[in-house]
Amino acid sequence: MRIVQANASWLTVASAAGLTYQASTSASDGVLEQFFAAYDNAFVLPNEKEGLSGFADCLALNWGRHYHRLVGQFGPFREFVVLVRGAGATVVGGLNFVAFPLHDPDGGEPLLSLNLNYIFVQPAHRRRGLLKTLIGDLPALVLALFAHTNPGDMPAAAGSLRAQLPVHIFIEQNDPYRMGGEDYERDTAATGLDQLARIALWARQGAKIIDFPYVQPALTADQEADHNLAYAVLGTKTPTLHPSLLRQHLERFFAISVLKGCTLEGNAEADAQLVQLAKLAAAGTRVRLFEIADPAKLPKPAAAVSAGGVVTLRSVLTAL
């Protein structure tokens, strides 16, 4: 990654793949408005969409008293919105993620944990391998962005440029077996990609489904918690996760990107998941990761039958 241009809140990074990433940690430098205009066409389901004001609220947490309050509770972090430009500076896609350093409970070594809140390719540029390129560029990109915008807060063990720091990328995915038929069809029509095909696409990029009953708390007071998601991770080298690592990640992601700096206490969905992970850690129980070696074996949602419970992607993978 090569930094092309930078100031206090944003920087432009060029990749070897020929893409330019214009990233910002602020809502006031013009990048957010351009990002949102592209983003707004890419996501259609009400409970998964963030509004412009929601993005602005998240970015505001990168600075001032809000940042220092959250740093005192969770340690350093940065949330970014990123415009992706191709040839001729054309906007071809976008990214939004929050990143923070954690210490791996298994070995105590630092890692950079990233929640990829949104990733999209503009309709005119799909089916060209761009998503694969974006995912491949992401670890080096986030290390460069974090080191530049927050150098004093990174763990000393990470080194001057932090280029060797492991990166774990967590993502939400639509669970094809939990989605209602209307949402399933609406999202598939908007993206041109069937929900099972999307699971397969991410599996080919190395995503592993986390065997944990994940729920996204409501993004705003006007929205509802989303129970129709699966949670996945890229960048791990083991078949399980330490529950304390997942708990550290979720409490930061929930507090910053989902709840916009509000307290976690009293949020039923967040509380339940964090408590469950604490219990797993106390019991010495690991969180299993499902690696989908053959996505073609996944049954169609209409054909999946539960043996006494609700059908989910996790239950289907357990049966397989």
Domain ranges within the chain, ordered by starting residue:
2-319
Concatenate the DSSP letters of all residues of 268-313 into one string. HHHHHHHHHHHHHHHHTPPEEEEE-S-GGGSPPGGG---SSS---H
* 67-114 pLDDT, tens digit each: 999 999 999 999 999 999 998 889 999 999 999 999 999 887 889 999
Yes or no: say if 234 and 171 are a contact pair by the CB < 8 Å rule: yes
DSSP letter at 235 equals S
What is the predicted pLDDT for the residue at 308? 57
Residue that has been written with the tokens 């071809």 in this structure: 92
Residues 13-31 have pLDDT tens digits of 999 889 999 999 999 999 9
Amino acid 48 reads E
pLDDT of residue 155: 47
Q: What's the confidence (pLDDT) of residue 98?
A: 97
Which run of H or E residues covers position 191?
A: helix 181-191
Question: What letter would DSSP give residue 145?
Answer: H
- Which of these, 225, 221, 243, lies nearest to 287 by C-alpha position? 243
- The amino acid at residue 241 is L
Spatial neighbors of 107 by CB under 8 A, at least 6 apart, are: none
pLDDT number for residue 275: 97
pLDDT at 157: 36
Closest CA to 25 of 68, 74, 65, 61: 61
Which of 53-62, 103-112, 242-251 shows the lowest mean pLDDT across its residues? 103-112
CA angle 120, 125, 128 (to 5 degrees): 100
Q: Average pLDDT, stretch 117-132?
A: 92
The predicted model gives 153-172 an average pLDDT of 66
Mean predicted confidence (pLDDT) in 283-297: 94
Cα 233 to Cα 79, 86, 150: the distances in Å are 18, 27, 24
Specify the amino acid at residue 41: N
Q: Is the pLDDT of residue 164 over 80?
A: no
The most confident of 3-7, 159-163, 307-311, 314-318, by mean pLDDT = 314-318
Of the chain, the percentage scoring pLDDT greater than 90 comes to 65
54-63, 146-155, 254-263, 295-304: lowest mean pLDDT where? 146-155
Question: Could you tell me the CATH superfamily of domain 2-319?
Answer: Gcn5-related N-acetyltransferase (GNAT) (3.40.630.30)
